[in-house]
Structure 1
Amino acid sequence: MVLNRAVALRIAACGIMGLGAALLIAALLLSTYTQGKIAKIPLTVDSTLVSDGTATAFDPASLLGERFVVNEDVPVVSQQQTSVEAPANADVVTLQVGTSLRRTDQQGDNGLLLAMVDTVTMNRETAEAVSSETNPGGSVQKPRAMEDENPPTSIALPHEGLTYRFPFDTEKKTYQVFDPIAQEPFDANYSGEEDVNGLTALKFTQNVGFDADGKLVEPVRFASLYDDDADAQVTARASLWGLEGDPEEPITMTRYYAAQRTFWVDPVSGTIVKQTDRGYHYYAREALKPEMTYVDYTVTTDEESVESQVASAQDERDRISLWGRILPITFTALGLVALVGGAVLGTFSLRAESMLIDPGLDGAGDRFYGKRDEEGEPVPGAEAMTEKLPAQRPSDLPPDRPV
């Protein structure tokens, strides 16, 4: 019975050591393979972000007047709605992003200044736009009139670089960020760290058509989404443009675009937690000589949207930390404890088994059950030592004692 218990201890020791090894292997897999699988853009992105600010903006009502009117210091709000579309799988995710800029001092269509629906397919790990034979990597939705009842159609627009997100483990370097209005990527340069609602974010700045000081240097010709380029080139009487000379002379002007952006990015998840945009749309006969402002606005993500983005970034941080750091450390500690405990228990069981099989295998001074008390052990009578008394010889007897 006792021998069976020793064998059971040995089996238990092997099981505990096996569990320890399994935990160490699990920790290694979690810190390498599994972490790479979970550090991906979620397939459940569904957000509405709001930015507000002021602008110098064209008054649509002046189209029916004698001269185009531009208003200064008008309140504007920008809204960005993001959802996931197909294809979306283990490797890529497609984001459809609807962006609008509206004057809040005017109602209905008169307040709408800019609108675009952009779609991009990106790598879920790197956030880089990807394309294939069936998917050019992105598209933009063709504008429709309010009375148009036909379903929306998209125009293929190959995207390059990053869009709407930065990669996981964002580095302090320059990234290429795609501008869907300019339809090409531009540098977003790292410019420091800042605290955003308790989260240390990396700050990136991007210039499209401006230099670092905000001077117009290389504006982009606006790419119209209408078949007739209705919003890219406008011909109107000189009087409407406010030009001197023959008031009836038709003058054609081209629309140009420039922008400045600042991104605050969570370095772990790549989430843009805050953003400031300055967009400048104007008409001119020469690119570097603006003559009529369509809209010149600056908006910043409002506090509610910032809180939402910070919370989203923190959720992704926690998920990555759980699988990439907390569980591997926990499994490693438990695995080591199990290995040491199993080894100790195995040694104990082996010594116990060896003593039960042959007590003599262990040294007399180091027996498993302790030293044997030789003085207290009973000795068989046949082996007991007897005292031998010396016998007297006859010659030693007294003379008067008879033999």
Structure 2
Amino acid sequence: MGLGAALLIAALLLSTYTKGKIAKIPLNIDATLVSDGTATAFDPASLLGERFVVNEDVPVVQQQQLSVESPANADVVTLQVGTSLRRTDQQQDNGLLLAMVDTVTVNRQTAEAVSSETNPGGSVQKPRAIEDETPPTSIALPHEGLSYRFPFDTEKKTYQLFDPIAQRPFDVNYSGEEDVNGLTTLRFTQNVGFDNDGELVEPVKFASLYDDDANSQVTARASLWGLEGDPEEEITMTRYYAAQRTFWVDQVSGTIVKETDRAYHYYARDALKPEMTYVDYTVTSDEETIEAQVAAAQDERDRVALWGRILPITFTALGLVLLVGGALLGTFSLRAESMLADPGLDDTGDRFYGKRGEEGEPVPGAEAMTEKLPAQRPTDLPPDRPV
């Protein structure tokens, strides 16, 4: 009975306290996520030409490298995510279109960004050349909402997801369930500057990470922009950004197992009238990335299920069996002990091996009381013979 009670208490603790300690973002994340697709992209070689050139339908690959940095402890984890977008039809610097290293500290259960006096909650690295060997420097960028993960036990509702390019969070809305490689996922969509039909409604002014805003505003001759009028007139255009994203999320662990990104970077004098595309691309997680993320989600599901469901159910079943068995065994043992000590204490008239008594049921012949029968005189002897 004591062991049964202990198992029931253990089951209760596992299903409440222990599950809360287990359902957390791992501290050993080290993943490379690859997405591929096509784009309309600016040709860097045209900077030296007579007019800027934009190529259509070029192959591109987006790569994200996720790793864990300090601080990382029982409550929070810091994710460092290096993201790059490359044209695969060009080599080295000519193929690099976008690059960013984003760092954010999140709560390990809710995946919400957290900050403190010693930790601003996030930062981004200043851009530098590929051959630059000086240590990177970072700019503090406090994050809000979710970043790169969804919370454990993700709900079918609207969340806030931070966009490091726009440098602020945007709504990410639940839009249904979908199977991804055998895993039932929740699908979420996010619009940054686009409406649901993909039309520009409120594009974001690109936030440059250079001290002189070198890539957020560009001044060039009208002939380079391809504009009519005086070819030598200096025209300044501002860079704008908009994006649409779809996430397929494992509901239990909050792992993003698949993602589709459409992002539009362009230059214009009017935010809603693009004049020169820098890059307009759509990429989707490749099959290898999806398989790896589904496997990671399954591992976290199994870990949570073991401590949050399988062991509590097992301990509860064993605890109940032991309690009932212990109670029955205790009752039988106490009764047997009282019978052996004083049979008269059994007020039911029973005995240890069954009912016995003078007025009870007939007892077996071997134990029946014997009776002496009177002998009869013989009647067939001769009269003159003495008996």
Using structure 2 for the length normalisation, give the TM-score: 0.92
Larger Rg: 1
Matched, 1:238 2:206: no
Quote the offset at 1:247 in angstroms.
1.2
User: In the alignment, which of 269, 274, 278 is matched to residue 262 of structure 2?
Assistant: 278
Partner of 2:7: 23
Q: Distance in 1 between matches of 2:29 and 2:337?
A: 62
1:267: which partner in 2?
A: 251
Partner of 2:72: 88
1:214 aligns with 2:195: no
Matches of 2:127 and 2:151 in 1, distance apart?
A: 31
Equivalents in 2 of 1:313, 1:21: separation in Å?
34
**Kept after mapping to 1: 8 A contact 2:193/2:243:** yes
Deviation track 1:370-395 (CA, whole Å, cap 9, x = no partner) reads 3448775598xxxx999999xxxxxx
Q: Distance in 1 between matches of 2:156 and 2:97?
A: 35
Aligned residues of 1:80 and 1:100 also touching (Cα < 8 A): yes
Amino acid at match of 2:94: N
Is 1:319 the counterpart of 2:303? The answer is yes
Equivalent residue letter for 1:69? V
Q: Does 1:366 align with 2:350?
A: yes
Percent identity reads 86
Matches within 5 A, 1:305-384: 305-363=289-347, 365-372=349-356, 376-377=366-367
Q: How many angstroms does 1:146 deviate by?
A: 2.9
What is residue 382 of structure 2 aligned with on the other side? none
Amino acid at match of 2:8: L
8 Å contact from structure 1 (residues 168, 268) kept in 2: yes
Structure 2 match to 1:122:
106
2:242 counterpart of 1:258: yes
Conserved 8 A contact 1:120-1:159: yes
The residue type equivalent to 1:54 in the other structure is T
Find the aligned partners of 1:146 and 1:313 in 2 and give their Cα distance.
34
Could you list the per-position Cα deviations for residues 117-176 of structure 1 after superposition, in whole angstroms to 9, with x for gaps in the alignment? 000000000000000001111000111123422100110000000010111111111110
Per-residue CA distance 1:23-51 (angstroms, 9 max, x = gap): 00000001111111111100011100100
Aligned residues: 369
- Unpaired runs of 5+ residues, structure 1, are 1-16, 390-403
What one-letter code is carried by the residue in structure 1 that aligns with 2:153? D
- Say yes or no: does 1:75 pair with 2:59: yes
SS in 2 for 1:30: helix
For the residue of structure 2 that corresponds to 1:173, the secondary structure is coil
Q: 1:327, CA displacement in angstroms?
A: 0.5
2:138 is the counterpart of 1:162: no
- State the one-letter code of the partner of 2:350: D
Q: RMSD in angstroms over aligned alpha carbons? A: 1.8
**Structure-2 separation of matches of 1:74 and 1:273:** 26
Which AA in structure 1 matches 2:28?
Answer: T
Is the 8 Å Cα contact of residues 350 and 356 (structure 2) preserved in structure 1?
Answer: no
**Distance in 1 between residues matched to 2:80 and 2:174, nearest whole Å:** 27
In 1, Cα distance between the equivalents of 2:101 and 2:238? 23
1:5 match: none
Paired residues of 1:362 and 1:368 also in contact (CA < 8 A): no
**Per-residue deviation at 1:291?**
0.5
